[in-house]
Structure 1
Amino acid sequence: MLRLQDEFRDLFRRPFGILFPDISDVIPLLSGRVVYAVGDVVTDSLLSRGIFPDIAVIDGYTMRSPFLRTPLYAGASHIRVNNPAGMITPDLIAGIERALADPPALVFVDGEEDLAVIPLVIAAPDGVFVLYGQPGEGVVLREIDSAAREEAQVLLSYFTTENASIK
């Protein structure tokens, strides 16, 4: 599994794409696009507007507090994975791969989904729009291309590999 080193956490507070102050600013751009969402608020906001992401990754929390409107995504396969805070586990990566192989899918993370955007961007096909919340700032939109995948690989370089088991 991969653990984000504490001294690099600030790098992950910068948007990994285009920051929009409100999701309503992004909605017009989504027509006809394949959309992946990371985060409960983003996923709920899309579903409430009738936009069904091909993949949604949630954990039941927003800003460390329970999200009381955990999105119920009918018609999507449900995949449950373990991923502690500050980590990217093989279980998370495998869940994302399963979701990519058979969309629509809701990946529910026991733990924290914040860093799921990195393996999702690496694995996603070109042209997909990935959306995730930027706490206190808005929503980030990243179109997937080789530059996005390269940037995600650079972000992975700030992690260290650990061989601990997840329970």
Structure 2
Amino acid sequence: MFVLPDESRQLFKDPFGTLHRDIGTVLPELAGRTIYSVGDVVTHSLQQNGITPAIAVVDGQTMRSPCIKMPEIAGPCIHVKNPPGTITDELVSALTHAVDHTPVTILVDGEEDLAVIPLVIAAPLSSIVIYGQPNEGVVLRIVDDQAKTAARRLLTQFTKTESPIPHN
């Protein structure tokens, strides 16, 4: 399990991609691409616009409150545990598996925010990872070598520990 130390949290406040004020502005960029989404509201918004993400990572929460815009479950649903401020081995394993078995919904017990990092690493080149930036809009990250390198660099800010969460 990777744990984000308090002193590194500020590195994750800035968007990890291009920030757009609303989902409508990113729709033209999604055409013909494999889309992966992280977050309930952005996943719901994509679905409302006729786009089913190949992988949707959701936790039933938005800004730490129950989400009233729950997305539909697409494909099999994989349940994982991922406490706030962590990236569990269970989450990484689910993402890696899901990339080759789409469509998949990953339902996180805990927090899904940091799933963007391992998802960019696992996703194929030219795909898109999209997630919500609270109170600002949506962030679009085209997966290329630069994105994968940046994600791996961000992962070095975490402390690697033994996972106390049993793998199912």
The runs of 5 or more residues in structure 1 that have no matched partner are none
TM-score (norm 2): 0.96
Give the fraction of aligned pairs with identical amino acids, expressed as a percent: 53
TM-score (norm 1): 0.96
Return the alpha-carbon distance in structure 2 between the equivalents of residues 33 and 163 of structure 1.
Answer: 36
1:51 matched to 2:46? The reply is no
Q: CA deviation at 1:20?
A: 0.3
Q: CA deviation at 1:69?
A: 2.6
For residue 71 of structure 2, what is the aligned residue in structure 1? 71
Q: Which runs of 4+ in 1 moved over 4 A?
A: none
What code does the residue aligned with 1:152 have?
A
For residue 106 of structure 1, what is the aligned residue in structure 2? 105
1:140 matched to 2:150? The reply is no
What code does the residue aligned with 2:7 have?
E
Q: Aligned residues, how many?
A: 166
CA distances 1:33-65 after superposition (whole Å, capped 9, x unpaired): 110000000000001111011111000000000
Alignment of 1:6-25 (within 5 A): 6-25=6-25
SS at match of 1:98: helix
Alignment of 1:146-161 (within 5 A): 146-161=145-160
For residue 90 of structure 2, what is the aligned residue in structure 1? 91
The runs of 5 or more residues in structure 2 that have no matched partner are none
1:82 matched to 2:56? The reply is no
What code does the residue aligned with 2:59 have?
D
